[in-house]
Each structure stands twice: as structure tokens, then as C-alpha cells.
């Protein structure tokens, strides 16, 4: 146990002054893309000239659903295609995986999520929440990496070249584990993550870019899975966050679930059938709920029509229901109310009143809901600003930040804050803060602690993050032990603990015994749930999968080629049947059948070999046949000419008689 | 009946002019404060010692180039100016940025106004 030495601290002019070395990033050569990795949808943007541009994916959408699916033949699909097949393949389709990234399996939020989704959530090898799909274990970082890879491909297709560097956004209220896990996802996807920035800050960047007037803005960010509120001051190109707060488990997915529950309850009341027993029916209802939610933002009433939703004793049963906006608002009123608390706390932390806020910016798809807009208006006593696209602002801001890091964009600086207090556990289980919440980052803090028992030779240091006074009520980030303390009475050793938060909001902890002078030092990089070995293994598997994908593509192309060749050869056989000998015809037909047989197999090389064989065989035969046909045609033509000559001769004879 | 229109237009004109003037004055004041803090208070002065283990208000004031009794507004503006110059995003040192942030916190918590 450690005891605070603040009271015993002696100011000494001779105290050793530490000088830390910070390595700056190497120069970025390529384009830096900004990626908004959202719970429900993701978006990618890039700076082109002086403007940030959102890039469209292969399906033509400016946002891509954050959905990953594993099909019957073990193929992996991402985005809109994955979302489309969710109804028939719900157990093997992962969505809203951002809610579990960096979370422990025994986290209460994980328990809550398990009841809300059709896929399986299991305990990972390190105690984190992982997914199990077709008997295979997948970490949330890996699932996130698949989405990021899709965004990377989207960027590469649009920009016409390889993309390596990226700025990825996370919710402002993400803790250290969640940030680290998100960064790991970028690494697995083959991206060099230059920066992790907060979503509300990115949105403010998109809003305040090229605006000169000093402003204090509140960013109200209610997305698919998380809620963030940040208050920033924008002065002369400095975007400084004054305070931030939020809820990492509140968003559009919860609204969908509220509607889904309502639908199931109403249907059961009316028809006596429990649709939750049927996975496909539940999934269809979920889709309908999301669609209804979106429609009710622009209409006052909507109708849900799902024929053949289930089968009853008297035949098929259909789902048909009308839903009004007021009913929907009633169902989700408690969810919307939950956003008020963080807003008030944020205002208090920033030391501002609502009258000092110049602008309220709405970000995230859920802010399109009229009730949400009303609440934001009443909370801040201000009409919200609607000039920012809620779906794209975050990616645009990340792209601008990418431009800043590359050096192309001048005059902009982000000064963000750490959302939660950081500290260690001391005697009696008390949480002792070293860095308070809403401290500007980068930040560093050193404090001195001591032993709690005589002759103690080691101290265990537990790093926590949160706002509760007892350590166990907060989130444990890391735990390590400092060994080799000389045996001294309690309270005498001086253990210096340093917390360093970098500009990505990620923490590094150093503990050192000052007395021994031999720098007994432990430096720990907090784990986001995946160790370096895990990441290396996943990358290797990813390369293997890439190989499998390449082979599959070759097979498909070989099959297409084979079918084309077979069709052409059969057509030629019909055309040349009069000029080929019987043995030749039989031989060609045999070769065609061989190609047909091999098309059914999984061997692209074998298909290519058979195609080549058939091609070699038919080349000489058809060449001969073609010549024969040509000769025959020439012969007929010659006969015609002879006939004409004969006519001419007759005429000549007639002339002589005259 | 032209008189009410003229009167109305006059009142509107006065109102708009007042609003414009207020804005101009506010902006000028803000800019003036910026210049006032940044120009005379900053002198080229070499401090021989490195950073102390625990930052004192005196050291914080030295880092920001201010007096210990500076107002919150002055501290805020000075912090922003230094962050523009020293932020890691712009090739600055993370270590120095850390010190600037800490200096701002130390001085802000000391001065209540």
C-alpha cells in the first residue's frame, strides 16, 4: 500500500531535475485520411486543396454501415452488403461492435449488450469481451479493423493510390482502454494511426474551420451508440476544449431497441405470438424499427408493414402497425432525458452559464430527431446551429486534423482535455487523483508516495480512471509492481509516480524509487485488451486471409473464363460440323466435358490447365476446318464466275454472225 | 402618412448602428487585450535553472511570461498564444506543451478573479 507523502514533501533546491525525451513523429509523406469510426455508420474524408472532401464507397454511399458479416462459405463482407444480408444471417453478423471495444466481459454494459444483440459475446483470453462467430473468436478491435479496412479501400479507390496514414475519431468520453483498443484496430487494418481525436472536437473543427470570430460552442453529439457533450472555445485558430462529458452507452441503437420491444409487446398482445423466439422475425422487426425511427424525424406518423412475419395455427401471420411521432417520443423519453445530466455537468466543469455559449452544434444521426433538438435547445436556451452535416462533420474534422499533422493546413491547433480523472489506489483503497478530469492534454503529473508497512520491499501500483472516491469503483487500467526497495521503516522510502498523457489522450505511467539511485523504474504502456503478440497474430491471420481471398478471386475468374471458352467452342462446333472429321469432333467434345467437370472443383489452376488443353486442341482443328470452309466458299464463287463467262461467249458468237 | 415610416426607419437605423458599434467595440477590446498581453509583458530573459520538480506559481508565471497576479483572461490568452507556437501537432515538443498546460492550471487555480 502507498501513503501520500504530500505533507512530508520537502522542497529542495538540489532535487534532481528529470529531463524526458519525447520523440516527434516522422514526416508524413502520403495523404492523411480522417475516419469517423461510428457505432452504426462510418465515414471517411480527406483534405484536397483547402477543403475537406467526404469520399464515397463502392456502393456510392457517403457513409458506410459499420457491419461485418461472415457468410455460408466463410467469406467476410463489410458495409452495406453485410447489412443487407443481416436478416437471414443474424447470428454471424456483427454490428455496433464499438460498444464493446476496450470493455471487460464482466462490465455491466457488456451484460446489457448481450441481451440486445443476436450474435454471441464471450469472454476473451484476457478477460475482455469478444465475439464468437462460426466457432471462431474475434476481438472487437478486429471487428473494428475490418470496418477500417473498408474505409481504407474506399479512400484508396477514390484517391487512386495507397493510403497509409489516418486520423481516427473516438467518443470524447472513451476511457484509456477504449482508446488503445481503437488504435489497435487501426494498426490491424494496416493503417498508421497518426492521431486519435475526440468526435466532438472534430465536429467543432469542421464547424470552426476558416471562421475568425471568437466563439464558445457546445457540441451535442448523439450518435449510434454514444453520447458526448463538449464545450470549446475557438479563438484565433486555437480550438480549446474547456470541458467534456458523456455516456458511452447511449445512442440510436437504444432507440431502436426501445421500438423493437414495443413492437414485440404489441404483437404479442394482439396475436399471442412471441416474435423474440424467431431470430429472422426479430431481425426484420429491428430493421423496421430503425426505418420507422428515421421516418418519424420528418413525418408525424408511419406504418410498419411486414408480411409473413410468422406462422400461426391458422396460417401465416402478418405484422401491421401504425406508429405516431408522439408515441415514439413517449417510448424513448427516458433515453433523451439521460442527455441532460452530462450537459449540466459539462457546463459546471467549464465554469460557464448557458448565456455564455454562443452556439450549439448538433452532431450524430440521432440529433435529426425533433425531440432531441428541442431538448438541446431548452438545455442551452439557444436555437441549435444546423449548418453542420451531423453524419459527416466528424470525418471532415478528422481530415482537417490530418491536414494539420501533415503540415498542409496552417493556423489551427487543437487543445483537448482528458475526460476522466486518473490516479492510483492508496492506503485503505482510496483513489488518489494525479490528473484531474478536464485537464488540458498533453499533461504530465508527478507525485511522491511511500510505503505503509515497515520493511516493505515492494509496492503494487494500480492505475485507475474515473470519478469515484474509492478506487474499486473506478476502472482499473493497469497494475504493476515495483520491486527491490531497500528495507526501511514505513513512510521513509520515496516512490515517485509520474503520469504522462499524450495528445491522443493515452496514458503512460512511470514509477521510480528515488532513494536507490539505480533508477528502479517500471514503464508500462496500458493495454487496450490486445497484447503485441495478439496484434501480430491477427496481422498474420489477416495476411493469410488475404491469400485466401486472392485464391478465391482467381477461382471465380477462372470459372468465368472456363464457361466463356466452353460456350464459344460449342458454338464453333455447330458452325464447323461439316468440315470436321468424326474423330476430331469426338475428341473436342471430350475436352469440353473435361473442362465442364473441372469447373465444379475448387482448383483454379486445374481449370486453367484444362482450358489451355482445350484451347490447344481446338486451335489447330478449327483452323483446318476454317480453311476447308473457306475453300468450299471459293469453289462456289468460281462456279458462278464460270457461268458469267459462258454468257459473255454467247454474246460474242452473236456478234460474229451479224 | 409618410411620417410613421420615416420615424420607423430612423429608429431601425439607430438600432442597427448601435448594434454595429457595440460589436466593433467588443472586437476591438478583445483584440486590444490580446495585444496588450502579448507585447509588453514578454521580455527575452534567460532563466538558468531547468524546470523544478513541482511547478510553483512563480515558475508558472515565468513560463507564461506573466506576473503571478495576472487575471484569468490574461492567463487564458497567453496560454493560447504559447500553445500555437509549441503544440506537438506543429512540430512542437510534447514536453514543453505539457509544461505550458500545467503552468496555466497552476496559475489559474491560484488566481480566483
> Are A460 and A591 in the same domain?
no
pLDDT tens for A203-259 read 998 888 767 778 888 999 999 899 999 998 887 788 888 798 898 888 998 898 898
Chain B nearest CA to A406, separation (Å): 9
> Are A318 and A362 in the same domain?
no
Residue corresponding to grid cell 444471417: A89
Q: Is A221 part of the annotated catalytic residue set?
A: yes
Residue A170 lies inside a defined structural domain of this protein:
yes
Task: List the grid coordinates of A371.
Answer: 425531440
> Are A302 and A379 in the same domain?
no
Give the active site residue among A98, A152, A406, A462: A98
Task: List the grid coordinates of B47.
Answer: 532563466
Read off the pLDDT of each residue in B25-31 and give the average, rounded to a whole number: 58
Instruction: Using the 3D structure, point to which of A416, A434, A450 is the last residue of a domain.
Output: A416
Burial class (CB in 10 A: 0-12, 13-18, 19+), A215: middle
Q: Does A20 touch chain B (CB under 8 A)?
A: yes
E-state strands within A348-485: 359-363, 413-415, 422-426, 430-435, 443-451, 459-465, 475-482
CA distance A251 to A237: 31
Distances (CA, A) of A612 to A200, A565, A570, A583: 59, 10, 16, 20
pLDDT at residue A87, rounded to an integer: 82
Chain A nearest CA to B9, separation (Å): 28
Chain A nearest CA to B85, separation (Å): 9
Under the banding of pLDDT at 50, 70 and 90, the label for residue A646 is very low
Q: Does A15 touch chain B (CB under 8 A)?
A: yes
Q: Does B53 touch chain A (CB under 8 A)?
A: yes
CA-based nearest residue to A225, from A35, A39, A37, A372: A39
Residue A655 lies inside a defined structural domain of this protein:
no
CA distance A245 to A234: 18
CA distance A576 to A624: 10
Minimal Cβ distance to B91: which of A17, A24, A236? A24
pLDDT at residue A79, rounded to an integer: 92
CA distance A261 to A289: 10
CA distance A114 to A494: 46
Taking an 8 Å cut-off on Cβ atoms, the answer to whether B88 and A235 are in contact is: no
Taking an 8 Å cut-off on Cβ atoms, the answer to whether B88 and A503 are in contact is: yes
Within A245-392, residue ranges assigned H as helices are: 252-271, 279-295, 325-331, 333-337, 340-350, 370-380
> Are A290 and A227 in the same domain?
no
pLDDT tens for A126-152 read 788 888 888 878 889 889 998 998 888
> Are A154 and A274 in the same domain?
no
Question: Taking 70 as the threshold, does the pLDDT of residue B5 lie above it?
Answer: yes
Query: For domain B57-111, which CATH number applies: 3.40.50.1100, 1.10.287.110, 3.30.413.10, 1.10.3720.10?
Result: 1.10.287.110
Q: Which residues of A159-189 are buried (b: 16+ CB within 10 A; e: fewer)?
A: eeeebbbbbbbbbbbbbbbbbbbbbbbbbbb
Task: List the grid coordinates of A487.
Answer: 528495507
Q: Does B78 touch chain A (CB under 8 A)?
A: no
Residue A433 lies inside a defined structural domain of this protein:
yes
Minimal Cβ distance to B83: which of A238, A446, A500? A238
| For helices A582-599 and A604-657, angle between their N-to-C axes, nearest 10 degrees | 150
Chain B nearest CA to A263, separation (Å): 50
Give the active site residue among A113, A128, A176, A199: A199
CA-based nearest residue to A456, from A430, A432, A484, A480: A484
> Are A92 and A215 in the same domain?
yes
Q: Name chain B contacts of A214, Cβ cutoff 8 Å.
A: 30
| For helices A582-599 and A532-575, angle between their N-to-C axes, nearest 10 degrees | 160
Name A460's bridge partners: A481
pLDDT tens for A95-124 read 898 888 888 788 888 877 888 788 888 888
pLDDT at residue A386, rounded to an integer: 76
Residue A243 C-alpha from the chain's centroid: 26
Residue A81 lies inside a defined structural domain of this protein:
yes
Residue A103 lies inside a defined structural domain of this protein:
yes
> Are A404 and A472 in the same domain?
no
Chain A nearest CA to B48, separation (Å): 13
Under the banding of pLDDT at 50, 70 and 90, the label for residue A184 is confident
CA distance A470 to A499: 19
Q: Name chain A contacts of B73, Cβ cutoff 8 Å.
A: none
Domain span holding position A313: 252-333
Decide if A198 contacts A498 (C-beta within 8 A). Answer: no
Spatial neighbors of A135 by CB under 8 A, at least 6 apart, are none
Instruction: Using the 3D structure, point to which of A494, A524, A554 is the last residue of a domain.
Output: A524
Minimal Cβ distance to B94: which of A439, A440, A503? A503
Minimal Cβ distance to A442: which of B30, B51, B94? B94
Chain B nearest CA to A405, separation (Å): 5
Read off the pLDDT of each residue in A585-611 and give the average, rounded to a whole number: 77
Decide if A87 contacts A287 (C-beta within 8 A). Answer: yes
Spatial neighbors of A348 by CB under 8 A, at least 6 apart, are none
A359-363/A215-222 β-pairing: parallel
Residue A637 lies inside a defined structural domain of this protein:
no
Lowest-confidence pick of A141-150, A296-305, A315-324, A608-617: A608-617
Interface test with A, best of B53, B82, B109 (most A CBs within 10 A): B53
Task: List the grid coordinates of A631.
Answer: 475453300
Distances (CA, A) of A244 to A138, A438, A507: 32, 7, 18
Distances (CA, A) of A245 to A50, A104, A401, A607: 32, 21, 22, 60
Residue A4 lies inside a defined structural domain of this protein:
no
Spatial neighbors of A543 by CB under 8 A, at least 6 apart, are none
Taking an 8 Å cut-off on Cβ atoms, the answer to whether B95 and A20 are in contact is: yes
Give the active site residue among A184, A221, A256, A391: A221
CATH code (residue A399): 3.30.420.40
DSSP letter string, A411-428:
S-EEE-B-SS-EEEEEGG
Residue corresponding to grid cell 440521432: A366
Residue A358, phi then psi, degrees to nearest 5: -85, -30
Question: Taking 90 as the threshold, does the pLDDT of residue A163 lie above it?
Answer: no
> Are A218 and A81 in the same domain?
yes
Residue A400 C-alpha from the chain's centroid: 19
> Are A462 and A541 in the same domain?
no
Minimal Cβ distance to B53: which of A22, A446, A503? A446
CA distance A275 to A470: 44
CATH code (residue A495): 2.60.34.10
Question: Taking 80 as the threshold, does the pLDDT of residue A174 lie above it?
Answer: yes
Task: List the grid coordinates of A485.
Answer: 526497495
For chain A, the straight-line distance linking the first and the last C-alpha, in angstroms and rounded, comes to 140
> Are A438 and A575 in the same domain?
no
Read off the pLDDT of each residue in A334-351 and give the average, rounded to a whole number: 87
Q: Is A533 part of the annotated catalytic residue set?
A: no
Task: List the grid coordinates of A589.
Answer: 467434345
* Biggest distance spanned by C-alpha atoms of chain A: 151
Nearest residue in chain A measured CA to CA from B77: A235
Burial class (CB in 10 A: 0-12, 13-18, 19+), A307: exposed
Q: Name chain A contacts of B90, Cβ cutoff 8 Å.
A: 404, 413
> Are A265 and A116 in the same domain?
no
Spatial neighbors of A125 by CB under 8 A, at least 6 apart, are A137
Question: Taking 50 as the threshold, does the pLDDT of residue A523 lie above it?
Answer: no
Q: Does B35 touch chain A (CB under 8 A)?
A: no
Looking at the structure of chain A, the number of domains it has is 4
Spatial neighbors of A343 by CB under 8 A, at least 6 apart, are A218, A220, A229, A245, A379, A380
pLDDT tens for A428-466 read 888 888 887 888 878 888 888 888 888 877 777 888 888
Minimal Cβ distance to A443: which of B34, B91, B101? B101
Question: Taking 70 as the threshold, does the pLDDT of residue A374 lie above it?
Answer: yes
Amino acid at each position: 500500500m502507498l501513503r501520500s507523502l504530500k505533507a512530508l514533501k520537502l522542497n529542495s533546491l538540489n532535487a534532481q531535475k528529470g529531463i524526458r525525451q519525447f520523440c516527434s513523429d516522422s514526416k508524413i509523406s502520403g495523404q492523411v485520411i480522417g475516419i469517423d469510426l461510428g457505432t452504426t455508420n462510418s465515414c471517411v474524408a480527406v483534405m484536397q486543396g483547402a477543403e475537406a472532401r467526404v469520399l464515397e464507397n463502392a456502393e456510392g454511399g457517403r457513409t458506410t454501415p459499420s457491419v461485418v458479416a461472415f457468410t455460408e462459405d466463410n467469406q467476410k463482407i463489410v458495409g452495406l452488403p453485410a447489412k443487407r444480408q443481416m436478416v437471414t444471417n443474424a447470428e454471424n453478423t456483427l454490428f455496433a461492435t464499438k460498444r464493446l471495444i476496450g470493455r471487460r466481459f464482466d462490465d455491466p454494459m457488456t451484460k446489457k449488450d448481450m441481451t440486445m444483440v443476436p450474435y454471441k459475446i464471450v469472454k476473451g483470453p484476457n478477460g475482455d469481451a469478444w465475439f464468437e462467430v462460426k466457432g471462431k473468436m474475434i476481438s472487437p478491435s478486429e471487428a473494428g479493423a475490418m470496418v477500417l479496412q473498408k474505409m481504407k479501400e474506399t479512400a484508396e479507390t477514390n484517391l487512386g493510390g495507397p493510403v497509409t496514414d489516418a486520423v481516427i475519431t473516438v467518443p470524447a468520453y472513451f476511457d484509456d482502454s477504449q482508446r488503445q483498443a481503437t488504435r489497435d484496430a487501426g494498426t490491424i487494418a494496416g493503417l498508421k494511426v497518426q492521431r486519435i481525436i475526440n468526435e466532438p472536437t472534430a465536429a467543432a473543427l469542421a464547424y470552426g474551420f476558416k471562421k475568425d470570430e471568437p466563439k464558445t460552442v457546445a457540441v451535442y453529439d448523439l450518435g449510434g451508440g454514444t453520447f458526448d457533450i463538449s464545450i470549446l472555445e475557438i479563438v484565433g485558430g486555437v480550438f480549446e476544449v474547456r470541458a467534456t462529458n458523456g455516456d458511452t452507452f447511449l445512442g440510436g441503437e437504444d432507440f431502436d431497441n426501445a421500438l423493437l420491444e414495443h413492437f414485440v409487446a404489441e404483437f404479442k398482445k394482439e396475436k399471442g405470438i412471441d416474435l423474440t423466439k424467431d431470430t429472422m422475425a426479430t431481425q426484420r422487426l429491428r430493421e423496421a424499427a430503425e426505418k420507422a425511427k428515421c421516418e418519424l424525424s420528418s413525418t408525424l406518423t408511419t406504418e410498419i408493414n411486414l408480411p409473413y412475419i410468422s406462422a400461426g395455427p391458422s396460417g401465416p401471420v402478418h405484422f401491421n402497425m401504425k406508429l405516431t411521432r408522439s408515441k415514439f417520443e413517449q417510448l424513448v423519453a427516458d433515453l433523451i432525458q439521460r442527455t441532460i445530466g452530462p450537459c449540466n455537468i459539462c457546463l459546471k466543469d467549464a465554469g460557464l452559464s448557458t448565456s455564455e455559449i454562443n452556439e450549439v452544434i448538433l452532431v450524430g444521426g440521432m440529433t435529426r430527431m425533433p425531440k432531441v433538438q428541442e431538448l438541446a435547445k431548452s438545455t442551452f436556451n439557444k436555437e441549435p446551429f444546423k449548418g453542420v452535416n451531423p453524419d459527416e462533420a466528424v470525418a471532415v474534422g478528422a481530415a482537417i486534423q490530418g491536414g494539420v499533422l501533415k503540415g498542409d493546413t496552417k493556423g489551427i491547433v487543437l487543445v483537448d482535455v482528458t475526460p476522466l480523472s486518473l490516479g492510483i489506489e492508496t492506503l485503505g483503497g482510496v483513489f488518489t487523483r494525479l490528473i484531474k478530469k478536464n485537464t488540458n492534454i498533453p499533461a504530465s503529473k508527478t507525485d511522491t508516495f511511500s510505503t505503509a508497512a515497515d520493511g516493505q520491499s515492494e509496492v503494487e501500483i494500480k492505475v485507475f480512471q474515473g470519478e469515484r472516491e474509492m478506487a474499486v469503483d473506478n476502472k482499473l487500467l493497469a497494475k504493476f509492481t515495483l520491486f527491490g526497495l531497500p528495507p526501511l521503516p514505513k513512510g521513509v522510502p520515496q516512490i515517485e509516480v509520474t503520469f504522462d498523457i499524450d495528445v491522443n489522450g493515452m496514458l503512460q505511467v512511470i514509477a521510480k524509487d528515488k532513494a536507490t539511485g539505480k533508477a528502479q523504474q517500471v514503464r508500462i504502456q496500458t493495454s487496450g485488451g490486445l497484447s503485441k503478440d495478439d496484434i501480430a497474430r491477427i496481422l498474420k491471420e489477416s495476411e493469410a486471409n488475404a491469400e485466401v481471398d486472392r485464391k478465391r478471386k482467381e477461382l471465380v475468374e477462372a470459372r468465368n473464363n472456363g464457361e466463356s471458352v466452353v460456350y464459344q467452342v460449342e458454338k464453333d462446333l455447330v458452325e464447323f460440323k461439316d468440315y470436321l472429321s468424326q474423330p476430331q469432333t469426338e475428341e473436342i467434345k471430350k475436352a469440353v466435358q473435361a473442362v465442364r467437370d473441372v469447373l465444379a472443383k475448387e482448383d483454379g489452376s486445374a481449370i486453367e490447365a484444362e482450358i489451355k488443353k482445350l484451347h490447344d486442341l481446338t486451335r489447330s482443328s478449327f483452323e483446318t476446318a476454317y480453311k476447308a470452309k473457306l475453300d468450299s466458299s471459293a469453289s462456289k464463287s468460281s462456279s458462278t464466275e464460270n457461268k458469267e463467262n459462258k454468257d459473255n461467249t454467247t454474246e460474242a458468237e452473236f456478234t460474229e454472225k451479224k | 402618412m409618410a411620417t410613421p415610416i420615416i420615424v420607423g426607419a430612423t429608429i431601425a437605423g439607430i438600432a442597427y448602428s448601435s448594434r454595429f458599434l457595440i460589436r466593433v467595440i467588443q472586437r476591438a477590446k478583445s483584440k486590444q487585450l490580446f495585444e496588450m498581453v502579448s507585447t509588453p509583458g514578454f521580455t527575452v530573459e534567460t532563466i538558468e535553472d531547468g524546470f523544478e520538480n513541482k511547478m510553483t506559481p512563480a515558475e508558472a508565471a515565468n513560463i507564461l511570461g506573466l506576473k503571478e497576479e495576472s487575471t484569468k483572461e490574461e492567463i487564458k490568452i497567453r496560454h493560447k498564444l504559447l500553445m500555437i507556437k509549441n503544440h506537438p501537432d506543429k512540430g512542437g515538443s510534447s514536453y514543453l506543451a505539457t509544461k505550458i498546460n500545467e503552468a496555466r492550471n497552476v496559475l489559474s487555480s491560484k488566481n480566483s478573479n
